[in-house]
Structure 1
Amino acid sequence: MIRAGIIGATGYAGGELVRILSGHKEVEIVWYGSRSYVDQKYSSIYQNMFQIVDASCMDDNMEALADQADVIFTATPQGLCASMIREEILQKTKVIDLSADFRLKDVHTYEAWYKLTHPAPQYLDEAVYGLCEINRDQVRNARLVANPGCYPTCSILSVYPLVKEGLINPATLIIDAKSGASGAGRGAKTDNLYCEVNENIKAYGVAGHRHTPEIEEQLGYAAGKKVYLNFTPHLVPMNRGILITAYASLTRDVSYEDVRAVYDSYYEKEQFVRVLPQDVCPQTKWVEGSNYVDVNARIDPRTKRIIMMGAMDNLVKGAAGQAVQNMNLMFGLEETQGLRFAPLFP
């Protein structure tokens, strides 16, 4: 059995990790870390885990946890994982960080966008960006994985094949994204109150959202050059789910069949990326509660642009499910282990 510890187990992403790992036949959770709820029964915080999880919450002592766990998941605010990580820990255990601490390779970019001094820049080169569909081989051999952000996961998987194959001009790329309220975390914030969110939709982080450089960096690797794009997220009144609609100019005349062939060449063997039939647009309801990403595209011949679309669950493929997918690769398990659950509907 793989012994897993979770630091930040009582946030939404951490709670989803507990739910998924509780059903994973190769994993035992040995540490439910939560600085806010030390010594409280985990099931008293998440009542859906009543008579499923009997353990109490522990602190966020990564050094003590490293002596007990084969893998540590950190579902914590930016800066916390990097402040705790050190060589002695990585020699004992593997770490999958769900924050942004190790996603960006350039420390100055991280510090500029996150307004933090990076506590452990020496690990930026080593950390593997854990988007399995692109970096699978590197993840297998990693001891530190940077789990991608939710918006970047959906955006990159929807756009990456067409950037990589040179079908679109990345300089013209605009990504419009929408997310449910759980994407903002479980902390009490006025902007996330029911009366603020219900019957409302709003843009935020306009021209300055922190996921922008993450998307640019990964698409830059695909394009073989620096990429700059417009990324605008919106908060919509639902619990979970992400929908992205991306627009870009085509570099040459292509048919839908040409575009479909590109998507299929990248994703036909992927277990969790579903390329939908022609003219079927992704919907968040079709992926809710699952590790699937649905993608598709439509060409606008009038403007010579293409519209790329993607939908996924921000807490599963956008956080906990992807982290488990990474763990499976790191320990030589079947990549889909513990993740073969169908989306919820309705």
Structure 2
Amino acid sequence: VDLKVSSSAGGRRENVARIHPERSNVVRVYKPSHHRHEAEVKQETKVNAQFTVHSVNLVRGLLATIYFKMDTSEKELYKKYLPYLKEPFVRIVKEKGGMQKLPDPKYVIGSNFVDIGFAYDEKNQRVILFSALDNLIKGGAGQAVQNMNIAFGLEETLGLNYLPVYPI
């Protein structure tokens, strides 16, 4: 898993390398292996995923690129993602043209959405998954509100139905 993360996703510890002005105009590897979330992924999915995290010139948001081998087809991948279309904050992004052909953090900032997309490399039987989210909303406060709504039997989307800030 290759993660491109914003300055707001850089952790809580004070460190000059984590402040946004220092991260401006960089793509810097800051956690090449043994990321703390690897254990959570293994616990929940039984998949031994390895993360490499890069700091990029974003104030908030993240983009994950996940690679794995699978003998399938693009059509079969679409079928696997159909159930997610019923989820209120999941959007499948896979366009043939235009600006947003695959997930991009720019299009989820300020929202509880997670955009998911994929590409299939038939020659190498490789799936490449992409997901983009706002780490302060979907990755933090918004996800907490969504979980609280579910726990208290409220409408899952209560207080979270707002659109991303782009385009303004």
- TM-score computed with the length of structure 2 as normaliser: 0.90
Query: In structure 1, what is the equivalent of residue 53 of structure 2?
Result: 233
1:1-346 aligned at under 5 Å gives the runs 175-185=1-11, 188-220=14-46, 227-250=47-70, 252=71, 254-265=72-83, 267-279=84-96, 280-346=101-167
Deviations 1:160-186 (A, max 9, x none): xxxxxxxxxxxxxxx101110011246
CA distance in structure 2 between the partners assigned to 1:345 and 1:319 by the alignment: 20
Q: What is the RMSD of the two structures over their aligned residues, measured on CA atoms?
A: 1.5
Displacement after TM superposition at 1:215 (Å): 1.4
Unmatched tracts of structure 2, length 5 or more: none
The question of whether the paired residues in 2 share the 8 Å contact of 1:282 and 1:296 is answered with yes
CA distance in structure 2 between the partners assigned to 1:186 and 1:219 by the alignment: 26
CA distance in structure 2 between the partners assigned to 1:187 and 1:176 by the alignment: 22
Displacement after TM superposition at 1:230 (Å): 1.9
CA distance in structure 2 between the partners assigned to 1:336 and 1:205 by the alignment: 34
CA distance in structure 1 between the partners assigned to 2:126 and 2:20 by the alignment: 38
Deviations 1:205-246 (A, max 9, x none): 2211111111122221xxxxxx32221111111110110111
Aligned to 1:332, what secondary structure does the other structure show? Answer: coil
| Structure number with higher strand proportion | 2
- TM-score computed with the length of structure 1 as normaliser: 0.45
CA distance in structure 1 between the partners assigned to 2:7 and 2:39 by the alignment: 22
Displacement after TM superposition at 1:187 (Å): 5.2
Report 1 or 2 for greater relative contact order, CA contacts < 8 Å, sequence distance ≥ 6: 2
The question of whether the paired residues in 1 share the 8 Å contact of 2:34 and 2:50 is answered with no
Range with greater deviation from structure 2 (194-203 or 308-317): 194-203
Identity of aligned residues (%): 40
Unmatched tracts of structure 1, length 5 or more: 1-174, 221-226
Aligned to 2:81, what secondary structure does the other structure show? Answer: helix
Call closer, same or farther: CA 1:316–1:197 in 2, change over 3 Å: same
Over 4 Å off, 4+ runs: none
Which of these two proteins has the greater Rg computed from alpha carbons?
A: 1
Q: Which amino acid aligns with 2:94?
A: P
* Number of positions where the alignment pairs a residue of Structure 1 with one of Structure 2: 163
Q: Which amino acid aligns with 1:272?
A: F
